[in-house]
Structure 1
Amino acid sequence: MNKTLSAFFLSLFFVSTTVVAQKPKVWIYTDMSDNTIPGNNHMKTVNDPDDISGMAGYLLMANRFDTKGIVVTSTHRSEHKNSGNQADWANDFFGKAYKKDVVNLNKNFGGYPKNIEFIQSCIKESAEKYNSSTVYNSLEKYKTVALLKDEVEKSTEITNVLCWGSLTEPAILVNYCIANQRFDLLKKLRFIAHWTNSSLHQGTPADPAKVANCNEDRSACEFLKEQALNGSIAFYECGAIGQHGIVSGSPKGLEYYNQFKKSNLGKIFSEGKFVQDAVDHSDAATYWVLLGNWGVSLKDIASNGTNLPEVEKKNEEQFFKFSKSIHEELLRRSKAAEN
């Protein structure tokens, strides 16, 4: 075979493998909200703004995922009863930045959707928590849970549900599937949670669930962990490896993070939650483990909801080692988005 023909077939091989490669389907539940709404947490906001930086990072990486839905304000803060439509806020705040940056991102990388839309959580105004004694036969009252159910129903692939806050909505969905014997849907779901369990950080060996995201709705947390342990669902608990791996191991100083501010998404990333000389985007652990080649992958985490301290420690150390590379990748994309 001559060199020209050989090169032709080689190019066909690369084209075919690119087409065949499937982007993981992603659905995100986040407690994120407008950080100008005053509240009583340690940042004086209603919800911790770390999810804002985490979301900006996700959007910079969005060509690596097939984003099916992003639900905001999935939280139990009473202040949100009258805080205004947070989907409108997110679609304006992130939507405008994304639309400005996506042109150059597609020029330099390709594969980004033209726009990504946000949905307001069905529990945002009610602050409802999962009730362990309730059988959720219907999702009529739970629009954003029903939307995820419909998405899973029409797909033949696994949908990865990234949980950045309360587990109320995922728990309602699992309860619904069990009540209606929709085990076919449960097989197409994979839950990846940030810090709903840790013996090392916030939690204790005696009570590893004593962490913020589990305390938000302990009933939902316990229900999902029980279902994972008995094999009904796949639930990957990241623990605190985002905070104490990616964030703790990150570059420090304004000089470094000011480099992000020349792009719209980069500016949001760097300013969303800048504390202790670095950006807090710890929930990002859920999508970096899904990508799988940045120090920790799903293979390194149990699928039954457990989070042994020795496993969490090892994964924390791995993310710490890879943190600089993760931030350099985000910076590379932020610079490519400059306009």
Structure 2
Amino acid sequence: MRICFLCLVLTTCISESLLSAEPPKVWIYSDISDPTLAGNNKEGTINDPDDVSAMAGYLLVANEFDTLGIVVASTHRDEHATTPDQAVWADQYFGDAYRNEVAALNESLDGYPADITFQQSCIKESAERFDPQNDYASLDSYDTVAALLNRAEQDDVSPADPIHVLCWGSLTEPAILVKHCLTTGKANVLNRMKFIAHWTNSSLHQGTPAHPEHVANCREDAKACAYLKSVAAQSKIVYHECGAIGQHGIVSGAPSGKDYYEAFRTSRLGTLFVEGKFAYGSVDHSDSATYWVLMPGFGVTLDDIPADGTNTPAVERANEQTFRKHSRRIHDELLRRSQLAAGDPAD
């Protein structure tokens, strides 16, 4: 068997460099829900299943992060008023697969937490949207917003070691959190968070130069989106807008064809990654851009994305092209970890 020594050196250096420092603290707000629940979108589901693939990919690289919370079904679908508890579904769907394979992952890479837990969003059943006239002084009705606030107030979180709030869908819950903090004199707590949003603005894709906000994740709760953008423009929060670089960089630049992705099916997490949303010959996990920017060595980092919520065409185009160039490397890393999760040591 021939072994690529340079590849081994590069992989080892990347892994060691990532794990040598404190891993970034992460909190995820996702509109993910059980894809077997019938809905009216083009996939026949309630919510776009791309977050299923993005979540499976996240679990494969979970040792690179300090996962503080994952909120699921943060969405505005009337059907969810009566659907089962989506945290229970996520624990069974993702949690069981993760717990089954975490020991094998730790044997090779180390640093994976023993378990990953999920919370059901406080807006899942109400489908509530952000009201700019509400001061949100009380969070009694918003337990998953209060949970993030409480975690951000703990001593191990600071502006130097903040919580990275990954926004994979609408911005309702982050907007409620920010409004609450500004209303109640907790602006200092906002310095302990960085918001990283997937495609809530783009002049190049869906949106236009005149209306970059005309994209799905912004329209989903337009008032929440506008509020956070305005607060970011005033430097009251750090808000990194990824735009469509996940979709048109990582996904568009991915290896194509079923043969490549069949190799993921040796592990449960790899199978979830492939089966979440396989379209046009590859996996749609575009929201994953929000966590790949936290991992050095894979193209785009937060230093490449303005912190004030802006996303100029030049910046988005450059980051899109960079991710496209690194897409094969990203997918090969996911495949390597998928094989390790199955107990199959990489060559």
| Structures share fold, TM-score greater than 0.5 | yes
| Partner SS, residue 291 of structure 1 | coil
Of the candidates 159, 162, 185, which is equivalent to residue 158 of structure 1?
162
Q: 1:99 to 1:40 in 2, by over 3 A?
A: same
Q: 1:232 to 1:128 in 2, by over 3 A?
A: same
Pairing of 1:31-180 with structure 2 (within 5 A) = 31-154=31-154, 155-156=157-158, 157-180=161-184
Shift of 1:150: 0.4
Shift of 1:19: 8.2
Shift of 1:34: 0.2
Instruction: Tell me how far apart the structure 2 counterparts of residues 83 and 120 of structure 1 sit (CA, whole Å).
Output: 11
Per the alignment, residue 203 of structure 2 pairs with 199
Deviations 1:148-197 (A, max 9, x none): 00000003330000000010000000000000110110100100000000
Shift of 1:20: 6.5
- Aligned residue pairs: how many? 324
Per the alignment, residue 252 of structure 1 pairs with 256
Instruction: Percent identity, please.
Output: 57
Per the alignment, residue 294 of structure 1 pairs with 298
Q: 1:19 to 1:64 in 2, by over 3 A?
A: closer
TM-score where L is the length of structure 1: 0.94
Flag the structure with larger Rg: 1
Contact 1:292–1:298 (Cα < 8 Å) also in 2: no
* 4+ residue segments displaced more than 4 Å: 17-20
Q: Point out where structure 1 has 5 or more consecutive residues left out of the alignment.
A: 1-16
Instruction: Tell me how far apart the structure 1 counterparts of residues 186 and 296 of structure 2 sit (CA, whole Å).
Output: 29
| Partner SS, residue 293 of structure 2 | helix
Contact 2:18–2:295 (Cα < 8 Å) also in 1: no
Per the alignment, residue 271 of structure 2 pairs with 267
Instruction: Tell me how far apart the structure 1 counterparts of residues 329 and 297 of structure 2 sit (CA, whole Å).
Output: 11
Q: 1:204 to 1:21 in 2, by over 3 A?
A: same
Instruction: Tell me how far apart the structure 2 counterparts of residues 323 and 274 of structure 1 sit (CA, whole Å).
Output: 16
| Partner SS, residue 194 of structure 2 | strand
Per the alignment, residue 13 of structure 2 pairs with none
Instruction: Tell me how far apart the structure 1 counterparts of residues 189 and 74 of structure 2 sit (CA, whole Å).
Output: 22
Instruction: Tell me how far apart the structure 1 counterparts of residues 108 and 317 of structure 2 sit (CA, whole Å).
Output: 36
Per the alignment, residue 220 of structure 1 pairs with 224
Instruction: Tell me how far apart the structure 1 counterparts of residues 79 and 311 of structure 2 sit (CA, whole Å).
Output: 33
Instruction: Tell me how far apart the structure 1 counterparts of residues 272 and 82 of structure 2 sit (CA, whole Å).
Output: 25
Q: Point out where structure 2 has 5 or more consecutive residues left out of the alignment.
A: 1-16
Contact 2:18–2:64 (Cα < 8 Å) also in 1: no
| Partner SS, residue 214 of structure 2 | coil
Shift of 1:292: 3.3
